[in-house]
Structure 1
Amino acid sequence: MTKPNELHEKKTRDLILQQKVNILTLKRLTVFNEAGEEVKFNTFLENKTITIIFVRHFGCISCRSHVDQIWNLQKLQKNPNNKIIFIGSGKPYVIQSFKEVMGVQDAEIYTDPSLATFDACGMNRGVINLVNTKSLSAMLALKKKGYEQGSFKDSGVHRQMGGVVIFKKPGQLAYHFASEHLGDVDDSKEWPV
């Protein structure tokens, strides 16, 4: 049986979590698929768990590492009740080459050049988030692991940070992580999937 104090703490945590994402705004927004067609964000909030990985930009060395990590998580790929979606900020036509380079042709990848979905989901943005010693250190470590920086042309907004948002059915926020700097990725072991 849950104690009153524990129940209060859980409700407080849930309320703080819900305040990180503007779900009403998010449901009205659209993103683009690789053909440049608009897709309503609300269509993602279907009757299953949805894990949204926000990608800084499609050329980002850290984003490439994170996409590689997420795509290879077998437990997520094998769970039919969890859908993974990647959202970047570049031009729609860049998605196809990104899929090819990353070897994720079957991935659902969208883009939001307006950054409205990034904002509604509480993702960080700023030059200070990008240009700092933590970002430089992370970039050098990823280069040592064999990851490469991609093209900057039409790949997205470089000062935009990524993150992870997980919605449980039917669209209830269950997890939120916003990167503070390049290379700042969350520990997927804590995801509620």
Structure 2
Amino acid sequence: MSNSHTSSPSHLNNVVGDTLITRAVDNTQVPINTIYENQPAVIIFFRRFGCQLCRSYALKLSNELMPTLKANNVAFVGIGLEKFGLEEFMKEGYFKGDLYVDEGKKAYKQLGFTDLGWFRGITTLFTKSTRDWNAETTKMGVGGNLKGDGFQLGGTYIVGRKTGEVWLSHPQKDYGDHPEVSQMLDILKEKLPSFKSV
């Protein structure tokens, strides 16, 4: 298992498998394990649908990663912590995978994602990775807003099918902390012998 941070489950089933999330397209509730039941998955836990850094990360992955995932039958899934801003996020096409909402932040809490609080939330704006990602976001021309839960961090997971064996665990340390697309592709190539880049 490739692990960017110290504490991570070895399999998502052990921690959040039965946790219910709401599918954006039809508003039905399903357990998280349905995401990776039949295929490996890249799962992004977004901080906030209105966050411009989340939007640019979603757009980058949609452009640079999703075509390869689709060609290799790997699910591409985004989970947010509230419905607030979801409609605009979908309408503007930032994320081209399947979207869900974890109302009440159940999985966020179970996976131990950090809620920064007011003071750390403000100071985190000035970390190098946040400043770097903000510059990238500006170059991409992606905007956002400040509505909703602004201090909850998310994360990126790559998991295997059935049990959700964790191949990559990357809980965010700050707003701009994301794994590189090249790292994600390398892990998928290592774990899936037939995996081909597009």
Fraction of identical pairs, as percent: 22
Runs of 4+ more than 3 Å apart? 16-23
Count, aligned residues: 175
Paired with 2:173 and 2:114, the residues of 1 have a C-alpha distance of: 7
Q: Secondary structure at the match of 1:148?
A: coil
2:141 counterpart residue number: 146
* Counterparts in 2 of 1:140 and 1:19: CA distance versus 1, 3 Å: closer
1:122 equivalenced with 2:112 (yes/no)? yes
Q: What 5-or-longer segments of structure 2 have no aligned partner?
A: 189-198
Cα distance, 1:129 vs structure 2: 4.9
The 3-state SS of whatever aligns with 1:27 is coil
CA shift digits 1:85-138 (9 cap, x unpaired) = 00011227x43321111354x520001121111222332221255322127624
The whole-number CA distance in structure 2 between the counterparts of 1:147 and 1:85 is 20
What secondary structure, in the 3-state scheme, does the structure 2 residue paired with 1:102 have?
A: coil
Q: CA deviation at 1:18?
A: 5.0
* Deviation for aligned residue 1:49: 0.8
- Go from structure 1 to structure 2 and tell me whether the alpha carbon gap of 1:169 and 1:129 turns closer, same or farther (over 3 Å shift): farther
Scaled by the length of structure 2, what TM-score is found? 0.76
Q: Give how far 1:175 is off.
A: 0.9
- Contact 1:21–1:122 (CA<8 Å) still a contact in 2? no
Normalization by structure 1: what TM-score?
Answer: 0.77
Over aligned residue pairs, what C-alpha RMSD do you find?
2.7
Structure 2 distance, partners of 1:100, 1:151, is: 18
Can you give the 5+ residue segments of structure 1 that lack an aligned partner in the other structure? 1-9
Q: 2:45 aligns with which of 50, 54, 60?
A: 54
Q: Secondary structure at the match of 1:23?
A: helix
- SS state at 2:15 partner: helix
Structure 1 SS opposite 2:99: strand
